[in-house]
Structure 1
Amino acid sequence: MDARDEAPQYVLPMVVRLEKVEPPGFTDALETAARAVLMILAAERSTGEGVWAEAMEAWQDARIRKVVRRARGGEWRKATELPGITVTGATAEVRVYPPIPLDGWPKELLKLQVSGTSLEDPEPPSEPDLTEPVLWLNPELEMSAGKAMAQCGHAAQLAWFDLSDEARKLWRESDFVLSVRTPSAAHWATLLASGLPVVQDAGFTEIDPGSYTVIADHPVLRG
């Protein structure tokens, strides 16, 4: 058994605001989710003697799970009343919460829908700025928006783990600027061979175990 499976299992809850009118764009939702994960990793409450530090450590000692649920209207208002951090993108709002045990969901979040979230981009995303971090989605995998948001959060976290304190500081000062894009199959193959951090999914939902989902392409980490 993997040592990570022997530790108590925690999950990082995330909620995306999904109103019937003017839902968020797909790419913006992915980028906002990734930034939300970075925000909670860097928060004072998550480190040292912070109120979330113990839960964050327990979560990172086991498998680093994230679950994205969706809310609208009154559900969203109730979700924002729980301790957490709300991150806003161009069209998306995502709230991230400190880790909880797998069976410890608060009632305000437990009733929210988790599967089948579908989003679209109003127009094709622009070319990414390669002087800034880019999270590359596997072009050969199909994932729901919620699954893709969690995977982008994983990739951002892997990049964060690999950065120096100074590089983390600079990224934090930029408000965690990043983009999410889908490369061509050829570019994806090149990225896989680059040694950059890559998310390999455990296969709990939607896709096969061991699937490569997102590559974290941070300028500091490029060879």
Structure 2
Amino acid sequence: MSPVLTPLADRYASWLTRPAAATVDTSDEDPDQVRAMPVILRVERDPAPSRTALLEAAAAAALAVCLAPEAEAEWAEPLHEWITGRIRKVSRRARGAHWTAVHTLPGVTIEVDGAEARALLPYRVTETPKIVSRLQISGSELPDTTTPAAPRPGVPVLWLNPTVPMTAGKAAAQVGHATMLLAAHLHAAAATEDLRAWAAANFRTAVRTPAKPDWQAALPGPDPAHAWTTRGVVAVRDAGFTEVAPGTVTVLAHRA
């Protein structure tokens, strides 16, 4: 599997344990060089996709871009620049002709139970293609009409923070971070067969919201490395630019 995600595993523990205020310090960045991955959610009027299925598609698509064959070829440079900086994602919604148009841009589309998401190669924010920039960010809230079933055995679970409401767009970005962190840790642990099996399943996950006591019990605590080696758990900690406070843990990824 591609080593493109190695920098994530290398700095994971330091990022998770740094003070909340430090997560929003961008003084070392050149604004003209900042990259973000567009995650396009297909949200047709009828039928509207299931929120859970759409999040699972977004989680898989973000990782699929990082581990695609192109990640070690023509996509290597932009991915490296993005992953060695801040891992920004911007979710947008599209339907009809706009959904068709985003397929002219490099990326990967994943479908889960009829819901589709396409993650694109990260662009410098100042150079975002018009096809993408014209798509709306807001309005992506989608309630689940049914309670998701229990996660299937052998599938990684992405647990959403039950104490922090997030729009579908925000949650889509967060679960995309989670799959990347999980894959980075599997790669660092030389779990090659696990990664290959996950890739063969199109990086399928189960996105669920736990009860508050279960969430608290699952948090990594002061020793993130121990939580990974003993429980197979990694955490997404948000910088707090949108919707949540800086330093908020938004998702826990649990290894299958």
- Scaled by the length of structure 1, the TM-score of the pair is 0.92
User: 1:168 aligned to 2:191?
Assistant: no
Cα 1:4/1:175, change in 2 over 3 Å: farther
- Structure number with the bigger relative contact order (C-alpha 8 A, sep ≥ 6) is 2
User: 1:191 aligned to 2:218?
Assistant: yes
Gaps of 5+ in 2: 1-21, 222-226, 228-232
Contact 2:110/2:118 (8 A) holds in 1: yes
Report how far residue 201 of structure 1 moved: 0.4
Instruction: Return the match for 1:11 from 11, 36, 41.
Output: 36
> Which moves more between the two structures, 72-81 or 142-151?
72-81
> Which moves more between the two structures, 19-28 or 188-197?
188-197
Q: SS of 1:120's equivalent?
A: coil
Which structure's residues are more often helix, by fraction? 2
Q: Quote the Cα distance in structure 2 between the aligned partners of 1:175 and 1:72.
A: 23
Report how far residue 9 of structure 1 moved: 1.8
Partner of 1:33: 58
Q: Quote the Cα distance in structure 1 between the aligned partners of 2:107 and 2:99.
A: 13
Instruction: Return the match for 1:147 from 170, 173, 182.
Output: 170
Partner of 2:115: 92
Q: Quote the Cα distance in structure 1 between the aligned partners of 2:78 and 2:235.
A: 25
Contact 1:134/1:179 (8 A) holds in 2: yes
User: 1:113 aligned to 2:157?
Assistant: no
Instruction: Return the match for 1:206 from 236, 239, 243.
Output: 243
Contact 2:108/2:120 (8 A) holds in 1: yes
Partner of 1:57: 80
Q: CA-atom RMSD, angstroms?
A: 1.7
> Which moves more between the two structures, 117-126 or 4-13?
4-13
Partner of 2:14: none
Partner of 2:70: 45
Q: Quote the Cα distance in structure 2 between the aligned partners of 1:66 and 1:106.
A: 15
Q: Quote the Cα distance in structure 2 between the aligned partners of 1:148 and 1:44.
A: 27
Instruction: Return the match for 2:181 from 154, 158, 161.
Output: 158
- The aligned amino acid for 1:200 is R
User: 1:122 aligned to 2:178?
Assistant: no
Q: Quote the Cα distance in structure 2 between the aligned partners of 1:117 and 1:15.
A: 11
Q: SS of 2:117's equivalent?
A: strand
- The aligned amino acid for 1:79 is V
Q: Quote the Cα distance in structure 2 between the aligned partners of 1:26 and 1:202.
A: 24
Cα 1:144/1:3, change in 2 over 3 Å: closer
Contact 2:220/2:234 (8 A) holds in 1: no
- Scaled by the length of structure 2, the TM-score of the pair is 0.80
Report how far residue 116 of structure 1 moved: 3.1
Output one character per residue of 1:65-110: Cα deviation in whole Å (capped at 9) or x when no partner: 1111001111111112222211111121111111111211101110
Q: Quote the Cα distance in structure 2 between the aligned partners of 1:23 and 1:6.
A: 39
Output one character per residue of 1:26-79: Cα deviation in whole Å (capped at 9) or x when no partner: 0001100001012111101012xx111100000001000111100111111111
Q: Quote the Cα distance in structure 2 between the aligned partners of 1:71 and 1:170.
A: 31
Contact 1:23/1:91 (8 A) holds in 2: no
Contact 1:155/1:214 (8 A) holds in 2: yes
Report how far residue 130 of structure 1 moved: 4.5
Q: SS of 1:118's equivalent?
A: coil
Partner of 1:215: 252
- The aligned amino acid for 2:255 is H
Partner of 2:45: 20
